[in-house]
Structure 1
Amino acid sequence: MKYPPRRAASCGGYLAAVVALILLAALQIQYHHLKVDLGKADFATATTQQQQRGHRRAGRWTRRSTGAEGLPRGIVQSSSDMYLRPLWDSTRATTDNKNKNDRYKALLAMAVGISQMQNIDIMARKFLNESYTVMLFHYDGNVDGWRSLEWSDKAIHIVAPNQTKWWFAKRFLHPNVVAIYDFIFLWDEDLGVEKFDPKRYLDIMVSEGLEITQPALDPDLSTDIHHRITIRNKMTKVHRRVYDNRSSMNCSDDSKGPPCTGWVEGMAPVFSRAAWKCVWHLIQNDLIHGWGLDMKLGYCAQGDRAEKVGVIDSEYVVHQGIPSLGGPSHTSKIPRRSLDLRTQIRRQSSAELEKFKERWNKAAREDDEWMDPFEA
């Protein structure tokens, strides 16, 4: 009669032991999962940190990822210059390349023909006297004809038959190549500069906070003026807008864009380094006459085009209106053919203008991330 209670107690002991084992197993399983979770968390944290370090490294690498990945950083030169280097006497390079105007470095680039050599001579001397760089794009293929000028060997000469200054600029004035220059003058060859001083011009451009400019045109001597905003105002140093009550223009203080404000013509633009970096990308490879570019230059003004783009009155030029490509030379005996060529060039220019407008509109329409900063 005493054994059943003992068996019950024994069964109870077995049951307790089994429960304890189950609890212990559950605790071990829970501890294992907790350890795994902690391990995953540590791995995630480490991975995030590694990724962040990788991104930082990648960010640094991206900044120098221009095809020089296989080179040690200290040997990489990401830009170039237009300085002519001597074949001997390397000490002379420092002297020759030193700009006596330490404040600014400037480049004058022009598409030129031999028939305008006398006028180019005057222009080039003005810039070379300030130790600015002169680059001549020879569209007529004649380089040897310039050898008689004493400064010819100090200029950069590039030859390509029957090409415009925009064609040359797109191919030879890449922003990395001209990065050492504070300002780029991309001028036509038929400008009279008797009253023009490039150093004073740049001083005004900087003091006025301008990024894209042109010198005003002398209305009394210029033979080819297309837009009123380019005419010199004798009462001001700089003007940024024009007032015109004609219905076709209607330029007033309320005008926000070209050709009333924020605009310069394509014959004699001057760009800051930052502006040129943008403008170079705007130039189309195949639209070589550049028609339509002037209306969009304000997008490269590094801010409000109504403030950053202007016409400088106190340093003005004369636009002589001499045809270049396809135009008659002083010794031409077949002017009729020249007139025919000018007609064809004008037709091509008009066609390129329409293409440029179409491309701009298409690009603006299809780029969802781009917002027009000047849209009303």
Structure 2
Amino acid sequence: MKSSDFVSLLADPHSRRSCFCSLLPATSLLCLVFFVGSAFIAPDYKEKFSIWGMTDTLQNLKFNKCKDQCRPNGSEALPEGIVAKTSNLDMRPLWGFPKKNESSMVNLFAVAVGIKQKDLVNIMVRKFLSSNFVIMLFHYDGKVDEWKSFEWCDHVLHVSAVNQTKWWFAKRFLHPDIVAEYGYIFLWDEDLGVESFHPQRYVSIVQREGLEISQPALDPVKSSELHHQITARGRKIVHRRIYKHGESRKGCDGSSTAPPCTGWIEMMAPVFSRAAWRCVWYMIQNDLIHAWGLDMQLGYCAQGDRTKNVGVVDAEYIIHHGRPTLGGGEGNETRSLAEDRNTGRKSIMSTEKISAPSHSHSHPKDHRVDVRRQSYIELDIFKKRWNKAVQEDECWVDPYLLPADQ
């Protein structure tokens, strides 16, 4: 057929419809062949694309896009939006939802307690509850039910484990991701008097002063035990160092940069900011429950200069009654565990002579000497672990190491 004839054929509407109808079966046949053949041809093309590296490139692009996302360990199998990275200690109702409270609880007060100290604990709990704190009681004597006579009992959290210290509890129940919503974590002993202490004022002071790690000062007159000069109440709002004469390096002056002259608090009533606690929690050793030696290293968790970010609050002070708790027998007063640790084994022996338990069967054995001995043992273990970790970590730089010591 000539080209002019083909054009004239398409110009005629009737002829055009006839032509398209004749082409339709052929076109359908070609499409069918194409789709059937693609099932056999596609694998070859995929193989060729793989050979050319295009498939791998596409996969690598997706991998590179996602690999930098910070995902909690173990959550990789979940879509990111469903991952709840933190929690809190707020109690929830069995049905419905709690009403939003503008003055939500933003700080945590945790204390290891025994029923024998219920008079002091009751005052502390009442005071901190009235300041809108979350309260957590660590029962080291297992006597939880005996607290039910207090009206606040059902409004606080109870954790019980017999003969465990507050540091044992804290390591297991105060993980940083659990307490991430609380601005400050108070981790106190039970034998403290808080009649003159105001929690909200205290928090306001440490916020204003920029204290990441702190403690309230001790009343030197009313406290039965005062082990360190730096914890004694002064006339300022806050103090961060002490001044005392001593032989060569043993004294404390304005140029002192290390504990216990500055950057130091006692472990009796510490208060940690959220950021500081995340660091301290990791430093608490899982198997060393008395935490001796930890106080000398707290400055590394001060989120900066320990001489500025660690301090003792004089304006809000407490009383240390010095009551024996863990290991103490009935009616058998002993010397405190927190005495000067530099006396070492000699101090232990003198304590054994002073507070040796009676052989009478009328009183249970007093294990305070055993507790004291274990504290010294753990202190030595912690020091050795710290020194070993410093030596083995080639990437760690001590921010407090003087240039002359480097």
- Unaligned stretches of 5+ residues in structure 1: 1-41
State yes or no: 1:66 paired with 2:73.
yes
Instruction: Kindly provide the amino acid, as one letter, of the partner of residue 259 in structure 2.
Output: P
Residue 111 of structure 1 corresponds to 112
Residue 8 of structure 1 corresponds to none
Aligned with 1:372 (options 398, 403, 406): 398
CA apart distance, 1:43 = 7.6
Instruction: Kindly provide the amino acid, as one letter, of the partner of residue 351 in structure 1.
Output: I
CA apart distance, 1:99 = 5.9
Q: CA separation in 1, counterparts of 2:278 and 2:313?
A: 22
TM-score w.r.t. length of structure 2: 0.75
State yes or no: 1:94 paired with 2:99.
yes
Deviations 1:26-53 (A, max 9, x none): xxxxxxxxxxxxxxxx989x96x98676
Q: CA separation in 2, counterparts of 1:301 and 1:51?
A: 41
Residue 268 of structure 2 corresponds to 267
TM-score w.r.t. length of structure 1: 0.81
- Unaligned stretches of 5+ residues in structure 2: 1-51, 334-355
Is the 8 Å Cα contact of residues 115 and 329 (structure 1) preserved in structure 2? no
Residue 32 of structure 1 corresponds to none
State yes or no: 1:357 paired with 2:379.
no
State yes or no: 1:347 paired with 2:373.
yes
RMSD: 2.3
Instruction: Give matches, 1:1-376, under 5 Å.
Output: 54-60=63-69, 63-88=70-95, 90-91=96-97, 93-95=98-100, 98=101, 100=103, 105-233=106-234, 235-247=235-247, 249-329=250-330, 336=358, 340-376=366-402
**SS state of the match for residue 59, structure 1?**
coil
Instruction: Kindly provide the amino acid, as one letter, of the partner of residue 242 in structure 1.
Output: I
Stretch deviating more after TM superposition (126-135 or 270-279)? 126-135
Q: Percent identity?
A: 54
CA apart distance, 1:54 = 3.5
CA apart distance, 1:87 = 1.9
CA apart distance, 1:339 = 7.0
Is the 8 Å Cα contact of residues 99 and 130 (structure 1) preserved in structure 2? no
Instruction: Kindly provide the amino acid, as one letter, of the partner of residue 99 in structure 2.
Output: T
Instruction: Kindly provide the amino acid, as one letter, of the partner of residue 143 in structure 1.
Output: V
Instruction: Kindly provide the amino acid, as one letter, of the partner of residue 342 in structure 1.
Output: R
**SS state of the match for residue 202, structure 1?**
helix
CA apart distance, 1:249 = 3.4
Is the 8 Å Cα contact of residues 99 and 132 (structure 1) preserved in structure 2? no
**SS state of the match for residue 379, structure 2?**
helix
Deviations 1:192-229 (A, max 9, x none): 00110010000000000110000000000011111100
**SS state of the match for residue 321, structure 1?**
coil
Q: CA separation in 2, counterparts of 1:54 and 1:141?
A: 52
Is the 8 Å Cα contact of residues 266 and 294 (structure 1) preserved in structure 2? yes
Q: CA separation in 2, counterparts of 1:78 and 1:99?
A: 23
Shift in alpha-carbon separation, 1:99–1:354, aligned structure 2, 3 A: farther
Residue 44 of structure 2 corresponds to none
CA apart distance, 1:73 = 2.0
CA apart distance, 1:308 = 0.5
**SS state of the match for residue 215, structure 1?**
strand
Deviations 1:133-169 (A, max 9, x none): 0000100000000000000101100010000000000
**SS state of the match for residue 94, structure 1?**
coil
Shift in alpha-carbon separation, 1:326–1:314, aligned structure 2, 3 A: same
Q: CA separation in 2, counterparts of 1:338 and 1:206?
A: 46
CA apart distance, 1:367 = 0.3
Q: CA separation in 1, counterparts of 2:78 and 2:272?
A: 33
Residue 35 of structure 1 corresponds to none
Shift in alpha-carbon separation, 1:231–1:338, aligned structure 2, 3 A: farther
Residue 18 of structure 1 corresponds to none
CA apart distance, 1:340 = 3.8
Is the 8 Å Cα contact of residues 175 and 280 (structure 1) preserved in structure 2? yes
**SS state of the match for residue 367, structure 2?**
helix
Instruction: Kindly provide the amino acid, as one letter, of the partner of residue 310 in structure 2.
Output: V
Q: CA separation in 1, counterparts of 2:212 and 2:291?
A: 19
Q: CA separation in 2, counterparts of 1:330 and 1:59?
A: 61
Q: CA separation in 1, counterparts of 2:274 and 2:76?
A: 26
**SS state of the match for residue 189, structure 1?**
coil
Is the 8 Å Cα contact of residues 108 and 132 (structure 1) preserved in structure 2? yes
